Amino acid sequence: MLSLVRSLWEVFRHTFAKRVTVQYPEQKAYLAPRYRGRIVLTRDPDGGERCVACNLCAVACPVDCISLQATEDEHGRRYPEFFRINFSRCIFCGYCEEACPTYAIQLTPDTEMGEYKRKNLVYEKADLMIDGPGKYPDYNFWQVAGVAIGGKDKGQAENEEAPTDIHSLMP
């Protein structure tokens, strides 16, 4: 009986306690930089597309919400002809980001993606592509990759030695 009175008192004391609610549209909760929200496609520091259309993100995606078509430009750089994410399916698991070999696809701390029409949740490449490098400002895939493209031959990448002519290697 006494314990009931005590718990009444304890609850009553909460009249003067600070409320924990975050009044959302006016105040916003802090979202960590690595929060898994809206997905973006990033660019290299020199402004080129990072995505090489390897399809690993689409393969890793557990709900099959990513679809893309690979193509190649005149310099031999692969890039996606179209890149489409259906956010009405996306579960924001971040597997695409983990699978991406070029840091192209990244999740951002933006969750305000509400729409009245379902089809508006299908984001095309133009909606996904941002101008910056995202979470990895210094990373430039084509400058560290050993692939030859127009303007960068084999051996010209960072930390890469010029290719060796194995025929000249004599014992």
Partner 1 sequence: MTSKLLPFLVIAVVLFVVLNLSAGLIWVERRLLALWQDRYGPNRVGPFGLGQIVADSIKLFTKEDWIPPFADKAVFVLAPAIVVATALISFAVVPFASGFVIADLNIGILFLLAMSSLGVYSVVLAGWSSNNKYSLLGGIRAAAQMMSYEVFMGLALLGTVMLAGSFRLTDIVEAQRGLWFVVPQFLGFVLFLIAGVAETRRLPFDLAEAESELIAGFHSEYSGMKFGMFFVGEYIGVILVSAIISLLFFGGWLGPLLPPGIWFAAKTMFFICFFILLRAALPRPRFDQLMSWGWKVMLPLALANLLVTGAVVLART
Q: CA 87 to CA 96: how far, in whole Å?
A: 13
Rank residues 24 and 116 by Cβ distance to partner 1 and give the closer one.
Answer: 24
Rank residues 10 and 161 by Cβ distance to partner 1 and give the closer one.
Answer: 10
Distances (CA, A) of 65 to 26, 56, 144: 32, 13, 30
Using CB under 8 A as the binding rule, the residues of this chain from 127 to 146 that contact partner 1 are: none
> Least Å distance between CB 10 and partner 1?
7
Radius of gyration from C-alpha coordinates of the chain: 25
> Least Å distance between CB 12 and partner 1?
6
Picking from 77, 83, 14, the residue whose alpha carbon sits closest to that of residue 42 is 83
Span from 20-28, 98-106, 125-133, 154-162 in contact with partner 1 (CB under 8 A): 20-28
Q: CA 49 to CA 79: how far, in whole Å?
A: 7
Q: Which positions lie near partner 1, rule CB under 8 A?
A: 4, 7-8, 10-12, 14-15, 17-21, 23
